[in-house]
Amino acid sequence: MIIDVPYWTRVLKNILYVILLLLGLFISLQLSIFYMPFLVAFIISLMIEPAIKFIMAKTKLTRRSSSIIIFVLVSVIILGSLAWILITLFSESSSLLQGLNDYFDKAYIQFQRLMESFNFDKIHLSQEIQNVIQNSTGDLLETASNWLRNALTGLINLVTGLPSIAICIGITVVALYFICVDKIYILDQIEHHLPKIWVRKIGRHLKDLIKTLGGYLKAEATLVLVSFIISLIGLYVLQFMGFNIQYPLLMALFIGFIDALPILGSGTVMVPWAILSAINGDINLGIAIVILLIIMSVARQILEPKLVSKNIGVHPIFTLIAMYTGFKVIGIMGLLIGPIVLIIVKNIFSSLIDGGVFKTIFDRK
């Protein structure tokens, strides 16, 4: 048997190339988590860069002066918002945690009433199956209660960990200042210490990645922020008008989180909420939530075409797989991180994907 040495050498090189890229991606993700304040500062700097350039063009100021102006404005807005959010989150989370058992008891009683009003004779369900359904529902509510209790406890612990939060926020703010003011110097230093071939390859991939992933994240962050602000203002207005809205900030954050997930949207939370409110007899609240959802949907439909210039080229089924994989690996946050990693992988392996992964690696040329 004759072994085709050149062919298998090329195959092994391709496989090694893929393994090294995946290893590099894994290390980069770990470093991103470790150096999160600097990553956040970098992302914010990308978002405010157009404002800095606008100030430079209109006022003829230097980049340093323009950056300081925008930096001060952004820092005041972010720090003020964070202070209010942390205080309100602690208050609402503590209140919800105290009354959590009562809410789930009410939900179970409501379900029992629904079971009693339903005519099971028409579908010929035995008493044993009915008992199984009731027990399963009780177990589900208990599991949801424990999960929510752990989430709220973790949130309270996070909020009360002020020294750690203060350090992270302080480092992020300082890093943002230096990135904005000394961007040109930082880029020159990075280029100076890297081999020229690395600069060309990394620069090309980084530009494509920023264009694809950066544009996607910027658009989605803007849309989610708009949804969060509209829902927050709307829920506080409803609370002021006397509707039964007890935790507006927590609900707005939850709506914003769900809205940030690909495929899903704010309607995933608000439609069931409106239906449950109507079932419980508060029809006016159900109608108000639907109206708020319509307002949010209209705002999103108006902004989305302007912000999202083109599709990222990932089929929803692969996005769903990425969300599920992220959830299984790192939990709830994986629902957000999974699709982002998918976009990064697609960008890095674009040449392999375009040519067919296994075809490119194993085909004889």
Residue 91 covered by a domain: yes
**Residues 187 and 287 both lie in one domain:** no
Indicate if 50 and 182 belong to the same structural domain.
Answer: yes
SS3 state of residue 1:
coil
* Residue 31: inside a domain: no
- Asked whether the beta carbons of 172 and 37 are under 8 A apart, the reply is yes
Q: HSE of 313 in the Cβ direction (CA atoms, 13 Å)?
A: 10
Is 272 part of any domain?
yes
The string of pLDDT tens digits covering residues 269-321 is: 888 888 878 877 778 888 888 888 888 888 877 776 665 544 455 667 777 78
Confidence at residue 118, expressed as pLDDT on a 0 to 100 scale: 60
208 CB neighbour count, 10 Å cutoff: 14
In this model, does residue 27 exceed pLDDT 70? yes
Torsion, CA 212, CA 213, CA 219, CA 220, rounded to 10: 140
Alpha carbon distance 343, 136 (integer Å): 38
For the chain, what is the domain count? 2
Which of helix, strand or coil describes residue 332?
coil
Shared domain check, 54 and 105: yes
The top-scoring range by mean pLDDT among 203-207, 265-269, 287-291 is: 287-291
Same domain, 143 and 261: no
pLDDT (tens digit, 9 = 90+) per residue, 54-78?
888 888 788 888 888 888 998 898 8
Which residue among 268, 288, 310 closes a domain?
Answer: 310
What's the CA gap between 94 and 110, in Å, rounded? 25
| Same domain as 258, residue 138 | no
The pLDDT score that the predictor gives to residue 4 is 63
Estimate the crossing angle of helix 248-260 against helix 63-98, to 10 degrees. 120
Please report whether residue 293 resides in a domain: yes
Rounded to whole angstroms, how far apart are CA atoms 365 and 21? 23
Residue of 70 and 13 predicted with greater confidence: 70
Q: What is the mean pLDDT of residues 177-197?
A: 75
Whether residue 1 lies inside any domain: the answer is: no
Residues whose CB is less than 8 angstroms from the CB of residue 163 and which lie 6 or more positions away in sequence, other chains included: none
Do both 245 and 149 map to the same domain? no
Quick check: is 63 in a domain?
Answer: yes
Contact between 95 and 249 (Cβ < 8 Å): no
Tokens in use for 85?
């959010």
The top-scoring range by mean pLDDT among 103-112, 286-295, 340-349 is 286-295
When mean pLDDT is compared over 5-14, 192-201, 235-244, 321-330, the highest value belongs to 235-244
Say if residue 178 is in the same domain as residue 41.
yes
179 and 272 in a single domain? The answer is no
pLDDT of 128 strictly over 80: no
The answer to whether position 219 is within a domain reads no
In terms of pLDDT, which residue wins out, 29 or 133?
29
- Element containing residue 194 per DSSP (H, E): none
pLDDT higher than threshold 80 for residue 1: no
Contact 319, 342 (CB under 8 A): yes
Q: Are residues 149 and 231 in the same domain?
A: no
Considering the domain architecture, whether residues 54 and 159 belong to the same structural domain is answered as yes
230 and 164 co-located in one domain: no
Q: Which helix (H) or strand (E) holds 265?
A: none
Out of 265, 292, 310, a domain closes at 310
Nearby residues of 59 by Cβ (< 8 Å), 6 or more positions away: 66
* Region of poorest pLDDT, from 84-88, 100-104, 244-248, 295-299: 100-104
145 is written with which tokens? 């209660």
The answer to whether position 23 is within a domain reads: no
CB 229 within 8 A of CB 209: no
Q: Is the pLDDT at 244 greater than 70, yes or no?
A: yes
3-state secondary structure of 60: coil
Reported pTM: 0.65
The whole domain housing 292 covers 224-310
pLDDT over 70 (residue 115): no
Tell whether 145 and 44 lie within a shared domain: yes
